Chain A
Amino acid sequence: MKILVGVKRVVDYAVKVRVGSNGVQLKNVKMSMCPFSEISVEESVKLKENKEAKVSEVIALSIGPKQCTETLRQALAMGCDRGLHITTDKRGDYMELQSDGVAKIFEKVLRDMEPDVDLVLVGKQAIDSDCGQVGPMLAGKMGWPQATFAANIDLDGDGLKVERETDAGTEFLKIPKLPAVISCDLRLNEPRYVTLPNIMKAKKKKIATVAADSFDIDLEPKNKVLEVFEPAARKEGVLVDDVNALLDKLKNEAGVIQ
């Protein structure tokens, strides 16, 4: 089995973003691997460590500016075998490059560059654009089966059995035959920390670089961002002294209870 895992470089999850006149400010802001990408990488490496899965190679793919190599190095330090960097200076946080473009690049990679990939793992959503589209879009474009919001992945004959999170709980799906696309939910696994020796080893692993412009793909966003603005601030709240004061406020001021 050959696995392709998508890793996205995003503003760190703990950063409170600032909204400027031309969108969210990215200058001098801490960037990290998207938490859902980390889970996808961890799952790919776990599959590789499972001898029964017979994983020959795990390829980490990232799309974006030159700093994405740092994100790819982290994926390699976690255990991916090689990296593939599709370079573009377009902002990937919905402003200039959207899921449609990303899914088209993935499709191009699968059709022309890595045609023998059996499984694509991506995060269920990126925490910047919050779209959650690339996984199911890619599956649709390739005509492959999909399992989104994966909470557990098991081998099942020539295919996989996936437990996926639903609105009401979870459900189990069988993918009888690969290739397939799976998007990873939060509870799939606990990503490992990278160790110093593995960081050193990762420096020897190869990252191939290809410019997105060299693909014959229209990457212009079909959904034009006209304006980015801050949500309305909530009015300042008050601290109450005890339960009686709280009940009084809820009944007589907010009117939310009788």
Chain B
Amino acid sequence: MLSSITKNTHRHFTRISGKRLASTLVIAEPFDDGSLAPATLSTITAAQKLHDGPITILSTNPSPPDASSLPSSVKVILQPKCASSELLAETISNAIKKAQELNSYSHIVAPATKFGSNVLPRAAAVLDVSPITDIIDVLSTDTFVRPLYAGNALCKVQATEEVKALSFRSTAFDKAEVDGSDAEVTELEVEDHGLTEYISANVSKSDRPELGSASVVVSGGRGLQSGENFVLLEKLADTLNGAVGASRAAVDAGFVPNSLQVGQTGKVVAPELYIAVGISGAIQHLSGMKDSKCIVAINSDPEAPIFQVADYGLVGDLFDVVPELTKHLEGGD
């Protein structure tokens, strides 16, 4: 009798302490104005599904994010101190390694953006663990769902590594609520590597919402025929407070910058409303938008594959349909 109680107590204790050991390091995207990037907030939501343990943020800016811009689940902010002001993949990997040596996190996570995809696999290799990237669902502390073959197959995958290096697709997780945190800031001395140097950035500026997190996206393809004609889509996007996206054909033809490409090799979006204009709907494009809540296709070709995924399709000339749609929406009727 006594021994069975001891056994139970022991089992109970192990479970609790196992939970207590779980802790996550979130690699924050570079952020503006002291507040976390939307992709980082989605990553924090995913991190909260992994375990109840504390969450630490690794800052990638010269100064830490404001405590008021953080979710309350964030307990610690690590602020790397390093000779190079621009945190490149090599530096961030060094910072992650240092943080891991000091604190032994059970999970190291990042958003599956270009930023996260550049950093996380390198850091995983430095720690000699096998990463899992672009996760769209968390089933348990070690089991996840991720897409294969441009999203035409999904796989359930179980991580057996002691340290789990993961990246999460930001459109698959809601943004964590920013309710303020009393997180303490800890400085982290990081060795400079001298392997790469940052020269400059060439950023396409826009006043529209960010493509990856906009609730409405209006995308154009080859059917737009020229870059000038994208003004039609910009007007429509503006009446809906949406972002403008593009297919590979439109980007390759030079109509719009690469950063607007939606698809397997561009950005993945999942807005409330996705309007595909003059886009045929190749497998690679569908992979970047088919999780949108409502898909509208406007195309002159009734055989275009885009109509197979569209909730509402309108066969017609985009040069007539788009201005008419914009006019109706502006008129508020």
Which one of A49-57, A202-210, A244-252 is at the interface? A244-252
List, in ascending order, chain B residues with CB within 8 A of A198's CB.
none
Q: Is the CB of A149 within 8 A of B118?
A: yes
Residues of B with C-beta under 8 A to A221 = 130
Q: In the bound complex, do residue B125 and residue A141 qualify as a contact, i.e. CB atoms below 8 Å apart?
A: yes
**Contact in complex: A136, B151 (CB < 8 Å):** no
Cβ of B168 under 8 Å from chain A = no
A148 near B89: Cβ-Cβ < 8 Å = yes
| Residue in chain B with minimal CB distance to A172 | B199
Question: How far does the Cβ of A151 sit from chain B's closest Cβ, in whole Å?
Answer: 7
Bound-state Cα–Cα, A172 to B152, Å:
34
Do B195 and A144 touch (CB < 8 A)? yes
Q: Describe A's contact surface by its main secondary structure.
A: mixed
- Flag if A256 contacts B273 (CB, 8 Å): yes
Q: Is B131's beta carbon under 8 Å from chain A? A: yes
The reply to whether B314 and A246 form a contact with Cβ atoms under 8 Å apart is yes
A140 x B201 contact (CB < 8 A): no
Cα(A93)–Cα(B325), bound, Å: 43
The interface residues of chain B lying within 8 Å CB-to-CB of A227 are 155-156
Task: List chain A residues, Cβ under 8 A from B132.
Answer: 223
A223-B157 contact in complex given A167-B114, A257-B273, C-beta closer than 8 Å: yes
Question: Is A139 an interface position by the 8 A CB rule?
Answer: yes
**Cβ of A115 under 8 Å from chain B:** no
B2 at the binding interface (Cβ < 8 Å): no
B195 CB to nearest chain A CB (Å) = 4
Q: Does A132 contact B (CB under 8 A)?
A: yes
> B313, A240: Cβ atoms under 8 Å?
yes
User: A211 in the interface, Cβ–Cβ < 8 Å?
Assistant: no
B122 contacts A137, C-beta separation under 8 Å: yes
Contact of B293 among A17, A226, A256 (CB under 8 A): A256
Q: Which of B114, B122, B248, B310 contacts A140 (CB 8 A)?
A: B122
On chain B, the residues within 8 Å of A163 by CB distance are: 202
Question: Which of B159, B251, B259, B273 is within 8 Å of A169, CB to CB?
Answer: B259
Interface residues of A in 92-143 (CB under 8 A from B): 93-94, 98-100, 103, 124-125, 127-141
Q: Are B143 and A226 in contact (CB under 8 A)?
A: yes
The answer to whether A174 touches B197, judged by C-beta atoms less than 8 angstroms apart, is yes
Contacts of A27 in B (CB 8 A): none
Q: In the complex, are the beta carbons of B196 and A172 less than 8 A apart?
A: no
Contact among A149, A169, A175, A222 for B160, CB-based, below 8 A: A222
Q: Which of A129, A134, A166, A221 has the most CB of B within 10 A?
A: A166
Binds B, one of A8-16, A69-77, A82-90: A8-16
State which of B149, B203, B324 has its C-beta within 8 Å of the C-beta of A17: B149
The digit string for B134-145, where 1 denotes a CB below 8 A from any CB of A, is 100000000100
Q: Are B149 and A127 in contact (CB under 8 A)?
A: yes
Q: Which of B121, B155, B310, B311 has the most CB of A within 10 A?
A: B121
A172 and B201 in contact, given A148-B118, A254-B311 (Cβ under 8 angstroms) = yes
A228 within 8 Å of B by Cβ? yes
Across-interface contacts of B265 in A (CB, < 8 A): 124-125, 185-186
Size class of the A contact interface (CB-based, 8 Å): 35 or more
* A212-258 CB contacts (< 8 Å) to partner B: 221-231, 234-235, 237-244, 246-247, 249-250, 254, 256-257
B324: A residues at CB distance < 8 A: 243
In the complex, chain A residues 135-182 whose Cβ is within 8 Å of any chain B Cβ: 135-141, 144-149, 151, 161, 163, 165-176
Residues of chain B lying within 8 A (CB to CB) of residue A94: 148, 155
Chain B contacts of A132 at CB under 8 A? 117, 121, 133-134
* Most central of A93, A225, A231 by chain B CB within 10 Å: A231
Q: Does B71 contact A (CB under 8 A)?
A: no
Point out the residue from B124, B125, B157, B312 that lies within 8 Å of A249, measured CB to CB: B312
Question: Per-residue 0/1 for A181-194: is the Cβ within 8 Å of any B Cβ (1 yes, 0 no)?
Answer: 00001110000000
Give the complex CA separation of A231 and B150 in angstroms: 11
Residues of B within 8 A of A (CB): 88-90, 93, 113-115, 117-126, 129-134, 143, 147-161, 193-204, 212, 216, 240, 248, 251-252, 257-259, 264-265, 267, 272-273, 283-284, 290, 293-296, 302, 307-316, 321, 324-325, 328-329
Cβ contacts A to B, 24 pairs, < 8 Å: A17-B149, A17-B153, A19-B152, A94-B155, A100-B129, A130-B147, A141-B126, A145-B90, A145-B196, A167-B267, A186-B248, A229-B153, A229-B156, A231-B147, A234-B290, A237-B307, A237-B311, A237-B313, A239-B312, A240-B312, A243-B324, A247-B325, A254-B294, A256-B273
Given contacts A169-B201, A170-B202, 20 further A-B contacts (CB under 8 A): A14-B283, A99-B131, A127-B150, A130-B147, A131-B133, A132-B121, A133-B121, A140-B123, A166-B201, A169-B202, A171-B198, A173-B88, A173-B197, A223-B132, A224-B158, A229-B154, A231-B147, A239-B313, A247-B325, A257-B240
